[in-house]
Structure 1
Amino acid sequence: MPARQCFETLKYVIQQAKPGEKMVINSAEFYGPDSANLKLLSRFFTRYPELSEQALVVVKGGMGGFKANAGPPSMQPDSSSEALRLSVEGNAKALSPKRMDVFELGRIDKSVPIEEAMKTLVKLRDEGWFDYIGLSECSAATLERAVTVSPILTVEIEISPMAWEEETRKVLAVAEKPGVNAAILAYSPMGRGAFVGISYEDIPAIVKKMFPRFQEENWANNKKLQDKLKVLAEQCGVPINQLALAWVLSTSPNVVPIPGTTKLANAESNFAAISVELSDEDLAEMTKIVEEAEIHGQRFPEAHNHLNWG
Protein backbone atom coordinates (compact mmCIF):
# COMPACT_ATOMS: atom_id res chain seq x y z
CA MET A 1 0.00 0.00 0.00
CA PRO A 2 1.57 3.34 -1.01
CA ALA A 3 2.70 5.45 1.95
CA ARG A 4 1.01 8.47 0.38
CA GLN A 5 -2.41 6.83 0.66
CA CYS A 6 -1.77 5.72 4.24
CA PHE A 7 -0.52 9.18 5.20
CA GLU A 8 -3.54 10.87 3.65
CA THR A 9 -5.87 8.64 5.66
CA LEU A 10 -3.89 8.98 8.88
CA LYS A 11 -3.79 12.76 8.54
CA TYR A 12 -7.56 12.88 8.10
CA VAL A 13 -8.12 10.62 11.12
CA ILE A 14 -5.92 12.65 13.46
CA GLN A 15 -7.50 15.91 12.33
CA GLN A 16 -10.88 14.61 13.53
CA ALA A 17 -9.71 15.06 17.12
CA LYS A 18 -11.73 17.75 18.88
CA PRO A 19 -9.91 20.67 20.57
CA GLY A 20 -8.31 19.48 23.77
CA GLU A 21 -8.68 15.81 22.79
CA LYS A 22 -6.43 13.28 21.07
CA MET A 23 -7.08 10.64 18.45
CA VAL A 24 -6.03 7.10 19.34
CA ILE A 25 -3.53 5.59 16.90
CA ASN A 26 -2.95 1.91 17.58
CA SER A 27 0.26 0.09 16.70
CA ALA A 28 2.49 -2.77 17.85
CA GLU A 29 6.02 -4.06 17.63
CA PHE A 30 4.65 -7.13 15.80
CA TYR A 31 2.75 -5.19 13.11
CA GLY A 32 4.96 -6.04 10.18
CA PRO A 33 8.58 -7.24 10.11
CA ASP A 34 11.23 -5.21 11.87
CA SER A 35 8.70 -2.84 13.53
CA ALA A 36 7.48 -1.77 10.09
CA ASN A 37 4.28 -0.13 11.30
CA LEU A 38 6.07 1.91 13.95
CA LYS A 39 8.65 3.04 11.43
CA LEU A 40 5.86 4.11 9.07
CA LEU A 41 4.38 6.20 11.89
CA SER A 42 7.83 7.65 12.52
CA ARG A 43 7.98 8.79 8.91
CA PHE A 44 4.49 10.24 9.17
CA PHE A 45 5.19 12.32 12.27
CA THR A 46 8.52 13.46 10.85
CA ARG A 47 6.58 14.82 7.88
CA TYR A 48 3.70 16.20 9.98
CA PRO A 49 5.19 17.16 13.38
CA GLU A 50 2.31 19.59 13.97
CA LEU A 51 -0.05 16.58 14.32
CA SER A 52 1.99 14.88 17.01
CA GLU A 53 0.18 16.46 19.94
CA GLN A 54 -3.22 15.51 18.51
CA ALA A 55 -2.35 11.80 18.43
CA LEU A 56 -2.29 9.34 21.33
CA VAL A 57 -0.08 6.55 20.03
CA VAL A 58 -0.64 3.20 21.72
CA VAL A 59 2.05 0.56 21.19
CA LYS A 60 1.69 -3.12 22.07
CA GLY A 61 4.96 -4.73 23.06
CA GLY A 62 6.55 -7.18 25.45
CA MET A 63 6.60 -10.02 22.93
CA GLY A 64 10.24 -10.94 23.38
CA GLY A 65 11.48 -10.02 19.91
CA PHE A 66 14.07 -7.50 21.07
CA LYS A 67 16.05 -10.01 23.15
CA ALA A 68 19.37 -11.15 21.72
CA ASN A 69 18.95 -13.92 19.12
CA ALA A 70 15.21 -13.97 19.71
CA GLY A 71 14.30 -13.33 16.09
CA PRO A 72 11.40 -11.06 15.15
CA PRO A 73 8.67 -10.23 17.66
CA SER A 74 6.23 -13.09 17.87
CA MET A 75 2.99 -13.84 19.66
CA GLN A 76 4.82 -15.31 22.64
CA PRO A 77 4.84 -12.73 25.45
CA ASP A 78 7.81 -12.14 27.71
CA SER A 79 7.19 -9.89 30.71
CA SER A 80 10.54 -10.40 32.36
CA SER A 81 12.11 -7.11 33.40
CA GLU A 82 14.88 -7.54 30.82
CA ALA A 83 12.51 -8.23 27.93
CA LEU A 84 10.15 -5.39 28.82
CA ARG A 85 12.99 -2.88 28.98
CA LEU A 86 14.35 -4.01 25.62
CA SER A 87 10.86 -3.86 24.13
CA VAL A 88 10.12 -0.38 25.43
CA GLU A 89 13.48 0.99 24.31
CA GLY A 90 13.23 -0.70 20.90
CA ASN A 91 9.72 0.55 20.25
CA ALA A 92 10.59 4.07 21.37
CA LYS A 93 13.53 4.11 18.95
CA ALA A 94 11.40 2.81 16.05
CA LEU A 95 8.65 5.40 16.66
CA SER A 96 10.95 8.40 17.20
CA PRO A 97 10.53 11.36 16.87
CA LYS A 98 6.95 10.69 18.03
CA ARG A 99 6.73 9.89 21.70
CA MET A 100 5.21 6.58 22.74
CA ASP A 101 2.14 7.75 24.71
CA VAL A 102 0.88 4.36 25.92
CA PHE A 103 2.78 1.10 26.23
CA GLU A 104 0.53 -1.94 26.35
CA LEU A 105 1.47 -5.50 27.18
CA GLY A 106 0.70 -7.09 23.81
CA ARG A 107 -0.38 -10.28 25.54
CA ILE A 108 -0.28 -11.39 29.16
CA ASP A 109 2.72 -13.52 30.11
CA LYS A 110 1.21 -16.06 32.50
CA SER A 111 4.66 -17.08 33.76
CA VAL A 112 5.16 -13.64 35.35
CA PRO A 113 2.67 -12.35 37.95
CA ILE A 114 0.90 -9.32 36.51
CA GLU A 115 1.86 -7.35 39.62
CA GLU A 116 5.55 -7.90 38.84
CA ALA A 117 5.12 -6.94 35.20
CA MET A 118 3.29 -3.79 36.29
CA LYS A 119 6.10 -2.82 38.67
CA THR A 120 8.56 -3.06 35.78
CA LEU A 121 6.32 -0.91 33.58
CA VAL A 122 5.88 1.67 36.34
CA LYS A 123 9.66 1.96 36.61
CA LEU A 124 10.01 2.39 32.83
CA ARG A 125 7.19 4.93 32.78
CA ASP A 126 8.78 6.90 35.56
CA GLU A 127 12.04 6.93 33.61
CA GLY A 128 10.16 8.81 30.91
CA TRP A 129 9.87 6.23 28.13
CA PHE A 130 6.09 6.59 27.88
CA ASP A 131 3.24 8.24 29.78
CA TYR A 132 0.63 5.55 30.40
CA ILE A 133 0.29 1.79 30.82
CA GLY A 134 -2.18 -0.43 28.98
CA LEU A 135 -3.06 -4.10 28.65
CA SER A 136 -4.21 -6.16 25.68
CA GLU A 137 -6.30 -9.36 25.69
CA CYS A 138 -6.42 -9.39 29.48
CA SER A 139 -9.07 -11.03 31.61
CA ALA A 140 -11.24 -9.11 34.06
CA ALA A 141 -9.35 -10.70 36.96
CA THR A 142 -5.98 -9.63 35.54
CA LEU A 143 -7.21 -6.07 35.09
CA GLU A 144 -8.39 -5.94 38.69
CA ARG A 145 -4.99 -7.15 39.90
CA ALA A 146 -3.05 -4.79 37.62
CA VAL A 147 -4.76 -1.64 38.87
CA THR A 148 -3.71 -2.40 42.44
CA VAL A 149 -0.18 -1.48 41.27
CA SER A 150 -0.87 1.42 38.91
CA PRO A 151 -3.70 3.00 36.92
CA ILE A 152 -4.38 1.43 33.51
CA LEU A 153 -5.30 3.88 30.75
CA THR A 154 -6.23 1.45 27.97
CA VAL A 155 -7.47 -2.12 27.73
CA GLU A 156 -7.47 -3.52 24.20
CA ILE A 157 -9.90 -6.36 23.52
CA GLU A 158 -11.85 -7.60 20.51
CA ILE A 159 -15.46 -6.43 20.38
CA SER A 160 -17.73 -6.91 17.37
CA PRO A 161 -21.06 -8.53 16.57
CA MET A 162 -19.00 -11.69 16.00
CA ALA A 163 -16.94 -11.31 19.18
CA TRP A 164 -19.24 -10.71 22.14
CA GLU A 165 -18.19 -13.18 24.82
CA GLU A 166 -18.96 -13.50 28.50
CA GLU A 167 -15.43 -12.44 29.42
CA THR A 168 -15.80 -9.38 27.18
CA ARG A 169 -18.67 -8.19 29.34
CA LYS A 170 -16.74 -8.92 32.53
CA VAL A 171 -13.80 -6.82 31.34
CA LEU A 172 -16.17 -3.97 30.45
CA ALA A 173 -17.72 -4.13 33.92
CA VAL A 174 -14.32 -3.87 35.64
CA ALA A 175 -13.14 -1.10 33.31
CA GLU A 176 -16.21 0.97 34.18
CA LYS A 177 -15.58 0.80 37.94
CA PRO A 178 -14.81 4.24 39.44
CA GLY A 179 -11.46 3.05 40.75
CA VAL A 180 -10.44 1.70 37.34
CA ASN A 181 -12.12 3.80 34.62
CA ALA A 182 -10.01 2.38 31.79
CA ALA A 183 -10.68 3.12 28.14
CA ILE A 184 -11.62 -0.01 26.22
CA LEU A 185 -9.96 -0.04 22.80
CA ALA A 186 -12.27 -2.31 20.80
CA TYR A 187 -10.21 -3.85 18.03
CA SER A 188 -11.68 -5.49 14.90
CA PRO A 189 -15.08 -3.87 15.61
CA MET A 190 -16.33 -4.80 12.15
CA GLY A 191 -15.40 -8.44 12.45
CA ARG A 192 -12.21 -8.44 10.36
CA GLY A 193 -14.23 -7.53 7.27
CA ALA A 194 -17.45 -9.43 8.01
CA PHE A 195 -19.40 -6.21 8.57
CA VAL A 196 -18.00 -3.71 6.10
CA GLY A 197 -20.35 -4.30 3.20
CA ILE A 198 -18.04 -6.43 1.08
CA SER A 199 -18.59 -9.99 -0.07
CA TYR A 200 -16.83 -13.00 1.42
CA GLU A 201 -14.74 -13.27 -1.75
CA ASP A 202 -13.30 -9.80 -1.05
CA ILE A 203 -12.15 -10.63 2.48
CA PRO A 204 -8.32 -10.91 2.40
CA ALA A 205 -6.99 -14.42 1.87
CA ILE A 206 -4.75 -14.15 4.93
CA VAL A 207 -7.82 -13.57 7.12
CA LYS A 208 -9.55 -16.64 5.69
CA LYS A 209 -6.43 -18.72 6.22
CA MET A 210 -5.53 -17.55 9.71
CA PHE A 211 -8.83 -17.04 11.51
CA PRO A 212 -11.05 -20.10 12.01
CA ARG A 213 -14.31 -18.16 11.80
CA PHE A 214 -13.58 -17.29 8.19
CA GLN A 215 -12.62 -20.75 7.04
CA GLU A 216 -15.09 -22.11 4.54
CA GLU A 217 -16.68 -24.75 6.74
CA ASN A 218 -17.37 -22.18 9.49
CA TRP A 219 -18.27 -19.22 7.30
CA ALA A 220 -21.25 -21.07 5.83
CA ASN A 221 -22.82 -20.78 9.30
CA ASN A 222 -21.36 -17.43 10.39
CA LYS A 223 -22.68 -15.73 7.27
CA LYS A 224 -26.14 -16.00 8.84
CA LEU A 225 -25.17 -13.25 11.27
CA GLN A 226 -23.87 -11.09 8.45
CA ASP A 227 -27.11 -11.58 6.51
CA LYS A 228 -29.29 -10.63 9.48
CA LEU A 229 -27.28 -7.48 10.14
CA LYS A 230 -27.46 -6.49 6.49
CA VAL A 231 -31.26 -6.59 6.75
CA LEU A 232 -31.24 -4.59 9.99
CA ALA A 233 -28.83 -2.03 8.51
CA GLU A 234 -31.19 -1.51 5.59
CA GLN A 235 -34.10 -1.05 7.99
CA CYS A 236 -32.09 1.53 9.96
CA GLY A 237 -31.00 3.28 6.77
CA VAL A 238 -27.25 3.00 7.45
CA PRO A 239 -24.37 1.01 5.95
CA ILE A 240 -23.59 -2.22 7.79
CA ASN A 241 -20.18 -0.92 8.94
CA GLN A 242 -21.84 2.04 10.66
CA LEU A 243 -24.42 -0.24 12.27
CA ALA A 244 -21.66 -2.45 13.66
CA LEU A 245 -19.66 0.52 14.95
CA ALA A 246 -22.72 2.17 16.50
CA TRP A 247 -23.53 -1.06 18.31
CA VAL A 248 -19.95 -1.46 19.58
CA LEU A 249 -20.09 2.14 20.85
CA SER A 250 -23.33 1.32 22.69
CA THR A 251 -21.79 -1.52 24.69
CA SER A 252 -20.07 0.79 27.19
CA PRO A 253 -19.37 4.51 27.70
CA ASN A 254 -15.70 3.51 28.01
CA VAL A 255 -15.48 1.90 24.57
CA VAL A 256 -13.36 3.45 21.80
CA PRO A 257 -13.58 1.42 18.56
CA ILE A 258 -10.31 1.21 16.65
CA PRO A 259 -11.20 0.07 13.13
CA GLY A 260 -8.27 -0.36 10.82
CA THR A 261 -8.19 0.98 7.29
CA THR A 262 -5.76 2.49 4.82
CA LYS A 263 -8.41 4.14 2.62
CA LEU A 264 -9.69 7.65 3.20
CA ALA A 265 -13.24 6.85 2.03
CA ASN A 266 -13.48 4.02 4.55
CA ALA A 267 -12.21 6.23 7.36
CA GLU A 268 -14.79 8.88 6.50
CA SER A 269 -17.56 6.29 6.55
CA ASN A 270 -16.37 4.91 9.89
CA PHE A 271 -16.36 8.35 11.49
CA ALA A 272 -19.90 8.92 10.27
CA ALA A 273 -20.98 6.12 12.63
CA ILE A 274 -20.51 8.52 15.55
CA SER A 275 -23.55 10.44 14.32
CA VAL A 276 -25.72 7.36 13.82
CA GLU A 277 -28.65 7.43 16.22
CA LEU A 278 -30.17 4.00 16.67
CA SER A 279 -33.47 3.77 18.52
CA ASP A 280 -33.73 1.70 21.69
CA GLU A 281 -35.72 -0.80 19.65
CA ASP A 282 -33.01 -1.03 16.99
CA LEU A 283 -30.29 -1.52 19.61
CA ALA A 284 -32.36 -4.14 21.39
CA GLU A 285 -32.92 -5.99 18.11
CA MET A 286 -29.23 -5.76 17.26
CA THR A 287 -28.19 -7.11 20.65
CA LYS A 288 -30.74 -9.92 20.38
CA ILE A 289 -29.37 -10.94 17.00
CA VAL A 290 -25.79 -10.84 18.29
CA GLU A 291 -26.46 -12.78 21.48
CA GLU A 292 -28.53 -15.45 19.74
CA ALA A 293 -25.98 -15.99 16.97
CA GLU A 294 -24.20 -19.35 17.02
CA ILE A 295 -20.67 -18.52 15.95
CA HIS A 296 -18.64 -21.39 14.55
CA GLY A 297 -14.88 -21.37 15.01
CA GLN A 298 -12.67 -19.66 17.56
CA ARG A 299 -11.43 -16.07 17.42
CA PHE A 300 -7.81 -17.09 16.89
CA PRO A 301 -5.94 -20.11 15.57
CA GLU A 302 -5.51 -22.98 18.02
CA ALA A 303 -1.84 -22.09 18.56
CA HIS A 304 -2.83 -18.64 19.88
CA ASN A 305 -5.82 -19.55 22.02
CA HIS A 306 -3.77 -19.85 25.20
CA LEU A 307 -3.05 -16.12 24.91
CA ASN A 308 -6.70 -15.06 24.95
CA TRP A 309 -7.99 -13.49 28.16
CA GLY A 310 -4.63 -13.68 29.89
Structure 2
Amino acid sequence: MTTAINLKDRSLLGLKDISRNEIESILDRAAYWEAQTEKVIPILSSQFVANMFFENSTRTRFSFEMAEKRLGAEVLNFAAAASSVEKGESIYDTVRTLESMGIDAGVIRMKPDGILQNLAETIKVPLINAGDGNNEHPTQALLDLYTMRKKFGELRGLKVSIIGDIRHSRVARSNLWALQKFGAQVSFCAPESMAAPELEQHAPYISMDEALQSDVVMMLRVQLERHATGILKSGNEYREQYGLTEARASKLSKNTMIMHPAPVNRNVEIDDAVVESAQSFIFSQMSNGVPIRMAVMERALRK
Protein backbone atom coordinates (compact mmCIF):
# COMPACT_ATOMS: atom_id res chain seq x y z
CA MET A 1 0.00 0.00 0.00
CA THR A 2 1.24 3.49 -0.82
CA THR A 3 2.30 5.32 2.32
CA ALA A 4 0.99 8.80 3.14
CA ILE A 5 4.50 10.22 2.72
CA ASN A 6 4.93 8.66 -0.72
CA LEU A 7 1.49 9.80 -1.76
CA LYS A 8 2.19 13.38 -0.70
CA ASP A 9 5.50 13.35 -2.56
CA ARG A 10 3.87 12.09 -5.74
CA SER A 11 0.91 14.48 -5.70
CA LEU A 12 1.22 18.07 -6.91
CA LEU A 13 -1.28 20.33 -5.18
CA GLY A 14 0.67 23.59 -5.39
CA LEU A 15 4.13 25.17 -5.48
CA LYS A 16 3.96 27.22 -2.30
CA ASP A 17 4.94 24.33 -0.06
CA ILE A 18 7.41 22.35 -2.16
CA SER A 19 11.13 23.00 -2.32
CA ARG A 20 13.17 24.70 -4.97
CA ASN A 21 15.07 21.43 -5.48
CA GLU A 22 11.84 19.56 -6.15
CA ILE A 23 10.72 22.18 -8.67
CA GLU A 24 14.12 22.09 -10.33
CA SER A 25 13.97 18.30 -10.62
CA ILE A 26 10.65 18.60 -12.48
CA LEU A 27 12.07 21.24 -14.83
CA ASP A 28 15.14 19.09 -15.51
CA ARG A 29 13.01 16.03 -16.21
CA ALA A 30 10.84 18.07 -18.57
CA ALA A 31 13.99 18.98 -20.50
CA TYR A 32 14.72 15.26 -20.80
CA TRP A 33 11.25 14.56 -22.18
CA GLU A 34 11.41 17.49 -24.58
CA ALA A 35 14.63 16.10 -26.03
CA GLN A 36 13.07 12.72 -26.88
CA THR A 37 12.28 12.25 -30.55
CA GLU A 38 9.84 9.34 -30.16
CA LYS A 39 6.20 10.41 -29.96
CA VAL A 40 5.30 7.69 -27.47
CA ILE A 41 7.55 6.23 -24.77
CA PRO A 42 5.18 3.90 -22.91
CA ILE A 43 6.65 3.89 -19.41
CA LEU A 44 3.14 4.24 -17.94
CA SER A 45 1.47 1.63 -20.14
CA SER A 46 -0.15 -0.19 -17.21
CA GLN A 47 -1.42 2.95 -15.48
CA PHE A 48 -4.89 4.51 -15.58
CA VAL A 49 -5.24 8.30 -15.24
CA ALA A 50 -8.52 10.19 -14.86
CA ASN A 51 -8.65 13.81 -16.03
CA MET A 52 -11.43 15.21 -13.85
CA PHE A 53 -12.37 18.68 -15.04
CA PHE A 54 -15.14 20.22 -12.96
CA GLU A 55 -14.35 23.53 -14.68
CA ASN A 56 -14.11 23.98 -18.43
CA SER A 57 -10.66 24.00 -20.00
CA THR A 58 -9.75 22.83 -23.45
CA ARG A 59 -6.08 23.81 -23.56
CA THR A 60 -5.03 22.46 -20.16
CA ARG A 61 -6.97 19.21 -20.55
CA PHE A 62 -5.55 18.52 -24.01
CA SER A 63 -2.03 19.27 -22.75
CA PHE A 64 -2.42 16.77 -19.90
CA GLU A 65 -3.98 14.20 -22.23
CA MET A 66 -1.15 14.59 -24.73
CA ALA A 67 1.42 14.17 -21.95
CA GLU A 68 -0.31 11.10 -20.53
CA LYS A 69 -0.70 9.42 -23.91
CA ARG A 70 2.90 10.13 -24.87
CA LEU A 71 3.86 8.18 -21.75
CA GLY A 72 1.52 5.34 -22.73
CA ALA A 73 -1.04 5.77 -19.95
CA GLU A 74 -4.68 4.77 -20.30
CA VAL A 75 -6.64 8.03 -20.11
CA LEU A 76 -10.19 8.59 -18.87
CA ASN A 77 -11.58 12.07 -19.53
CA PHE A 78 -14.32 13.25 -17.20
CA ALA A 79 -16.29 16.40 -18.05
CA ALA A 80 -18.61 17.81 -15.39
CA ALA A 81 -21.05 19.10 -17.99
CA ALA A 82 -21.82 15.51 -19.01
CA SER A 83 -21.81 14.02 -15.51
CA SER A 84 -23.84 13.52 -12.38
CA VAL A 85 -22.20 16.61 -10.88
CA GLU A 86 -24.80 18.62 -12.81
CA LYS A 87 -27.44 16.63 -10.92
CA GLY A 88 -25.91 17.47 -7.55
CA GLU A 89 -23.36 14.70 -7.00
CA SER A 90 -20.48 16.14 -5.03
CA ILE A 91 -16.96 16.48 -6.33
CA TYR A 92 -15.83 14.30 -3.42
CA ASP A 93 -18.20 11.47 -4.35
CA THR A 94 -17.21 11.69 -8.00
CA VAL A 95 -13.50 11.41 -7.21
CA ARG A 96 -14.12 8.58 -4.72
CA THR A 97 -16.15 6.75 -7.37
CA LEU A 98 -13.32 6.93 -9.92
CA GLU A 99 -10.80 5.92 -7.23
CA SER A 100 -12.98 2.89 -6.42
CA MET A 101 -12.93 1.89 -10.08
CA GLY A 102 -9.14 1.59 -9.94
CA ILE A 103 -7.54 4.75 -11.32
CA ASP A 104 -3.85 5.17 -10.46
CA ALA A 105 -3.83 8.99 -10.48
CA GLY A 106 -6.22 11.88 -10.91
CA VAL A 107 -5.80 15.28 -12.57
CA ILE A 108 -8.34 17.71 -11.13
CA ARG A 109 -9.52 21.18 -12.13
CA MET A 110 -12.24 22.89 -10.09
CA LYS A 111 -13.68 26.28 -9.20
CA PRO A 112 -14.10 25.97 -5.40
CA ASP A 113 -11.09 26.85 -3.22
CA GLY A 114 -9.91 24.46 -0.53
CA ILE A 115 -11.64 21.27 -1.66
CA LEU A 116 -8.56 19.82 -3.37
CA GLN A 117 -6.50 19.81 -0.16
CA ASN A 118 -9.29 17.99 1.66
CA LEU A 119 -9.59 15.46 -1.15
CA ALA A 120 -5.86 14.77 -1.05
CA GLU A 121 -6.11 13.85 2.61
CA THR A 122 -8.73 11.20 1.81
CA ILE A 123 -8.05 9.87 -1.68
CA LYS A 124 -5.39 7.16 -1.84
CA VAL A 125 -4.00 7.92 -5.28
CA PRO A 126 -1.79 10.85 -6.35
CA LEU A 127 -3.70 13.99 -7.31
CA ILE A 128 -2.46 16.68 -9.69
CA ASN A 129 -3.84 20.21 -9.44
CA ALA A 130 -4.87 21.45 -12.90
CA GLY A 131 -6.34 24.68 -11.52
CA ASP A 132 -7.81 25.12 -8.05
CA GLY A 133 -10.22 28.07 -7.79
CA ASN A 134 -8.25 31.24 -7.10
CA ASN A 135 -5.62 29.25 -5.21
CA GLU A 136 -2.94 27.68 -7.46
CA HIS A 137 -2.24 26.35 -10.95
CA PRO A 138 1.12 24.64 -10.42
CA THR A 139 1.72 23.08 -13.84
CA GLN A 140 1.08 26.43 -15.53
CA ALA A 141 3.72 28.08 -13.35
CA LEU A 142 6.12 25.19 -13.95
CA LEU A 143 5.82 25.59 -17.71
CA ASP A 144 6.25 29.35 -17.30
CA LEU A 145 9.47 28.85 -15.31
CA TYR A 146 10.65 26.30 -17.84
CA THR A 147 10.04 28.76 -20.69
CA MET A 148 11.91 31.53 -18.85
CA ARG A 149 14.81 29.22 -18.01
CA LYS A 150 15.17 28.15 -21.64
CA LYS A 151 15.54 31.78 -22.72
CA PHE A 152 17.58 33.26 -19.89
CA GLY A 153 19.53 30.23 -18.65
CA GLU A 154 18.66 30.87 -15.01
CA LEU A 155 15.89 32.51 -13.01
CA ARG A 156 17.87 34.25 -10.28
CA GLY A 157 17.73 38.02 -10.60
CA LEU A 158 15.05 38.07 -13.30
CA LYS A 159 12.54 40.89 -12.99
CA VAL A 160 9.09 39.48 -13.65
CA SER A 161 6.00 41.69 -13.81
CA ILE A 162 2.60 40.02 -13.65
CA ILE A 163 -0.10 42.30 -15.01
CA GLY A 164 -3.87 42.02 -14.82
CA ASP A 165 -6.46 40.32 -12.63
CA ILE A 166 -4.24 39.35 -9.71
CA ARG A 167 -7.21 38.97 -7.35
CA HIS A 168 -8.66 35.97 -9.16
CA SER A 169 -5.44 34.56 -10.62
CA ARG A 170 -4.18 31.16 -9.52
CA VAL A 171 -1.48 31.57 -12.20
CA ALA A 172 -0.14 34.71 -10.48
CA ARG A 173 -0.01 32.94 -7.11
CA SER A 174 1.78 29.82 -8.33
CA ASN A 175 4.29 31.91 -10.29
CA LEU A 176 4.90 34.14 -7.27
CA TRP A 177 5.63 31.22 -4.92
CA ALA A 178 7.84 29.41 -7.42
CA LEU A 179 9.79 32.34 -8.84
CA GLN A 180 10.72 33.69 -5.43
CA LYS A 181 12.25 30.33 -4.50
CA PHE A 182 14.70 30.89 -7.37
CA GLY A 183 15.60 34.46 -6.48
CA ALA A 184 13.53 36.20 -9.15
CA GLN A 185 12.00 39.61 -8.38
CA VAL A 186 8.24 39.49 -8.83
CA SER A 187 6.04 42.59 -9.09
CA PHE A 188 2.32 42.99 -9.71
CA CYS A 189 0.46 45.57 -11.76
CA ALA A 190 -3.33 45.71 -11.57
CA PRO A 191 -6.33 48.01 -11.42
CA GLU A 192 -7.53 48.52 -7.87
CA SER A 193 -10.56 46.31 -8.51
CA MET A 194 -8.29 43.46 -9.63
CA ALA A 195 -5.60 43.70 -6.93
CA ALA A 196 -5.09 41.08 -4.21
CA PRO A 197 -4.09 43.10 -1.11
CA GLU A 198 -3.05 39.98 0.81
CA LEU A 199 -0.22 39.39 -1.68
CA GLU A 200 1.30 42.85 -1.32
CA GLN A 201 3.53 41.68 1.52
CA HIS A 202 5.09 39.19 -0.92
CA ALA A 203 5.38 41.34 -4.06
CA PRO A 204 4.94 45.08 -4.63
CA TYR A 205 2.34 46.66 -6.87
CA ILE A 206 3.91 48.93 -9.47
CA SER A 207 2.73 51.16 -12.33
CA MET A 208 2.32 50.00 -15.90
CA ASP A 209 5.32 52.06 -16.99
CA GLU A 210 7.47 50.41 -14.30
CA ALA A 211 6.18 46.95 -15.25
CA LEU A 212 7.38 47.43 -18.82
CA GLN A 213 10.98 47.71 -17.56
CA SER A 214 11.03 44.00 -16.62
CA ASP A 215 12.79 41.01 -18.16
CA VAL A 216 9.46 39.19 -18.31
CA VAL A 217 6.08 40.84 -18.85
CA MET A 218 3.38 38.30 -18.01
CA MET A 219 -0.12 39.38 -18.96
CA LEU A 220 -3.12 37.70 -17.34
CA ARG A 221 -6.51 37.00 -18.86
CA VAL A 222 -9.17 39.33 -17.51
CA GLN A 223 -12.85 38.49 -17.19
CA LEU A 224 -14.35 41.94 -17.19
CA GLU A 225 -17.79 40.63 -16.24
CA ARG A 226 -16.38 40.06 -12.75
CA HIS A 227 -15.60 43.76 -12.48
CA ALA A 228 -18.74 45.35 -13.95
CA THR A 229 -19.04 47.57 -10.88
CA GLY A 230 -15.32 48.27 -10.66
CA ILE A 231 -13.21 51.05 -12.13
CA LEU A 232 -12.86 49.33 -15.49
CA LYS A 233 -16.07 48.48 -17.30
CA SER A 234 -15.02 47.61 -20.85
CA GLY A 235 -12.37 45.84 -22.84
CA ASN A 236 -11.39 49.07 -24.57
CA GLU A 237 -10.91 50.87 -21.26
CA TYR A 238 -8.82 48.01 -19.90
CA ARG A 239 -6.69 47.95 -23.04
CA GLU A 240 -6.03 51.68 -22.83
CA GLN A 241 -4.88 51.51 -19.21
CA TYR A 242 -3.40 48.02 -18.75
CA GLY A 243 -3.21 46.32 -22.13
CA LEU A 244 0.06 45.51 -23.85
CA THR A 245 -0.64 47.63 -26.90
CA GLU A 246 1.67 47.89 -29.87
CA ALA A 247 2.74 51.32 -28.58
CA ARG A 248 3.66 49.94 -25.16
CA ALA A 249 5.36 46.88 -26.65
CA SER A 250 7.57 49.17 -28.76
CA LYS A 251 9.05 50.52 -25.51
CA LEU A 252 10.13 47.09 -24.24
CA SER A 253 13.75 46.04 -24.25
CA LYS A 254 14.48 43.78 -27.20
CA ASN A 255 15.33 41.02 -24.72
CA THR A 256 12.04 41.22 -22.80
CA MET A 257 9.79 38.14 -22.89
CA ILE A 258 6.06 38.57 -23.36
CA MET A 259 4.03 35.79 -21.74
CA HIS A 260 0.36 34.93 -21.16
CA PRO A 261 -1.18 31.74 -19.72
CA ALA A 262 -3.85 31.77 -22.48
CA PRO A 263 -6.48 31.82 -23.77
CA VAL A 264 -5.80 35.42 -24.75
CA ASN A 265 -8.42 38.12 -25.12
CA ARG A 266 -6.76 39.60 -28.19
CA ASN A 267 -6.82 43.38 -28.35
CA VAL A 268 -7.74 43.53 -24.67
CA GLU A 269 -4.78 42.21 -22.65
CA ILE A 270 -2.48 42.12 -25.67
CA ASP A 271 -2.83 43.59 -29.13
CA ASP A 272 -3.12 41.02 -31.88
CA ALA A 273 0.16 42.04 -33.52
CA VAL A 274 1.99 41.71 -30.18
CA VAL A 275 0.67 38.18 -29.64
CA GLU A 276 2.28 37.22 -32.94
CA SER A 277 5.50 39.20 -32.42
CA ALA A 278 9.01 37.76 -32.05
CA GLN A 279 9.06 38.71 -28.36
CA SER A 280 5.89 36.75 -27.62
CA PHE A 281 6.48 33.33 -26.05
CA ILE A 282 2.79 32.48 -25.68
CA PHE A 283 2.84 29.57 -28.11
CA SER A 284 6.16 28.35 -26.71
CA GLN A 285 4.49 28.22 -23.31
CA MET A 286 1.77 25.99 -24.73
CA SER A 287 4.34 23.72 -26.35
CA ASN A 288 6.38 23.49 -23.15
CA GLY A 289 3.29 22.43 -21.21
CA VAL A 290 3.48 18.92 -22.65
CA PRO A 291 7.00 17.95 -21.40
CA ILE A 292 6.28 19.65 -18.06
CA ARG A 293 3.13 17.59 -17.62
CA MET A 294 4.96 14.47 -18.75
CA ALA A 295 7.45 15.06 -15.94
CA VAL A 296 4.64 15.66 -13.44
CA MET A 297 2.73 12.52 -14.48
CA GLU A 298 5.89 10.41 -14.37
CA ARG A 299 6.57 11.73 -10.86
CA ALA A 300 3.01 10.88 -9.80
CA LEU A 301 3.08 7.33 -11.14
CA ARG A 302 6.67 6.30 -10.59
CA LYS A 303 7.07 2.96 -8.84
TM-score range relative to shorter protein: 0.3 to 0.5
Q: What is the TM-score of this pair, normalised by structure 2?
A: 0.34
| Higher share in helix | 1
Q: What is the TM-score of this pair, normalised by structure 1?
A: 0.33
**Larger RCO (CA within 8 A; separation ≥ 6):** 2
